[in-house]
Structure formats: structure tokens, C-alpha cells
């Protein structure tokens, strides 16, 4: 469940996060099926609004990659937290294991806003006992901004196919850990 980063915005079919994750899992011995519940432009409020019909009875686990559009719009971190909290509470009620994938907040909204936003993911993961990947983009290698830019589409927001490949390689082990939590 996510936004354009999950949906594969700007990429050809098969190059986005979900199909590349599906391929990575198969190559690493998993027969899990990954369903793309990403909607470009979605906020945490949008994800919450569609959660009930997105979680079919066949759903065994949930990956949540929401919050990027909240941060791009500078939404109140308390609203983002509340929406993510509600999503995790609904997953808890269904006894679904969850991998919560965050993004670091930008500094341009001020240090207080950033501190509040950055606290959301680790605090909610701890409260709900979910797995946590603090930064969806970590696989791009934040130590070298020039190298990371080469892994992005022209908009500077969405990864290109090679960027997605690196993100999947970084997040794949966490997804395997999530799958290990699925109850038979």
C-alpha cells in the first residue's frame, strides 16, 4: 500500500517497485505474490480511505509506503501520524504482519516539523510491533548525491529502473523478514 513510489510512476510496466520486488523475491526463494496497491499522489489519508477494500481476504501481510506526499505538501505531522496509526491499527485487528517503510522529512519546513515527521515511523513501528525500514530511498546511497541523482528520473523525486533495482535490493531482506512472520 503506497503512493507513486510503489505504483511505479514514470516507469514502463515491469520496471517499478512491485514487479522488481516480485522478481527479487522469486530469485531469493519466495513464492509470495506482491500486489501493487500504490496510487500516485496518494497521501496517508488516501491510503487510509482505501485500506478496507484494498485488504482482500487473501492478504497475508502488508507493506506500507505512505507519507511521501504528506511530506511534499508539508502536511501537519500529527495528521500523518494519525492516519498511519489508523492503518496499523486496522492491520493489527486483522493480525497482519506489517513492514512500515518511511522517508526522512525535509529540512525546508523547519527543524521542529522535521523532528516531528522523522519520529513518526520508528515510534509507530515500536508501538505496533511492525518491522521498520526508515528510508525507502536508502538503497540509492545517500553518501554520494551525484550518484543518487543518476538513479532518479528527471523530476528528482522518483527513482529510475536502476534506482528501483537498488531500492529493492536494500528492502528485499526486510520483506523476507516480513514474510517469515506470516501465519500459515
- Boundaries of every domain in the chain: 4-180
For residue 52, what are the contacts with CB-CB under 8 A and spacing of at least 6?
90
- Its pTM stands at 0.95
- Polymer length of the chain: 184
Residue 184 pLDDT > 80, yes or no? no
Catalytic residues: 4, 155, 158
**120-148: pLDDT as tens digits:** 999 999 999 999 999 999 999 876 767 78
Query: How large is the C-alpha radius of gyration of the chain?
Result: 16
Region 4-180: CATH code: 3.40.50.1110
Under a CB-based contact definition with an 8 Å cutoff, are residues 74 and 109 in contact? yes
Q: How far is CA 6 from CA 11, 16, 21, 35, 50, in A?
A: 11, 7, 10, 10, 15
pLDDT of residue 148: 85
pLDDT of residue 143: 64
For residue 19, what are the contacts with CB-CB under 8 A and spacing of at least 6?
8, 13, 36
Residue 43 pLDDT > 70, yes or no? yes
pLDDT of residue 183: 81
58 pLDDT band, cuts 50/70/90, is: very high
C-alpha cell, 152: 532518479
**91-121: pLDDT as tens digits:** 999 999 999 999 999 899 999 999 999 999 9
Q: How many CA atoms lie within 13 A of 178 on its CB side?
A: 26
Pairing mode of beta strands 98-101, 131-133? parallel
Average pLDDT of 58-70? 97
**164-181: pLDDT as tens digits:** 999 999 999 999 999 999
pLDDT of residue 146: 72
Amino acid at each position: 500500500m503506497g503512493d507513486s513510489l510503489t505504483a511505479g510512476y514514470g516507469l514502463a510496466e515491469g520496471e517499478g517497485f512491485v514487479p522488481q520486488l516480485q522478481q527479487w523475491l522469486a530469485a531469493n526463494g519466495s513464492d509470495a505474490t506482491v500486489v501493487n496497491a500504490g496510487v500516485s499522489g496518494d497521501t496517508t489519508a488516501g491510503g487510509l480511505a482505501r485500506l478496507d477494500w484494498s485488504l482482500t481476504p487473501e492478504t497475508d501481510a502488508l507493506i506500507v509506503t505512505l507519507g511521501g506526499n504528506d511530506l511534499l505538501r508539508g502536511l501537519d505531522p500529527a495528521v500523518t501520524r494519525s492516519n498511519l496509526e489508523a492503518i496499523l491499527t486496522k492491520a493489527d485487528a486483522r493480525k497482519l504482519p506489517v513492514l512500515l517503510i518511511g522517508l526522512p522529512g525535509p529540512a525546508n519546513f523547519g527543524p521542529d516539523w522535521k523532528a516531528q515527521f522523522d519520529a513518526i515511523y520508528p515510534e509507530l513501528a515500536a508501538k505496533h510491533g511492525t518491522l521498520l525500514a526508515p528510508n525507502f530511498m536508502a538503497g540509492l546511497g545517500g553518501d554520494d548525491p551525484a550518484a543518487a541523482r543518476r538513479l532518479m528520473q528527471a523530476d528528482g523525486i522518483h527513482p529510475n529502473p536502476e534506482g528501483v533495482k537498488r531500492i529493492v535490493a536494500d528492502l528485499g531482506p526486510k520483506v523476507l523478514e516480513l514474510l517469515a512472520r506470516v501465519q500459515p
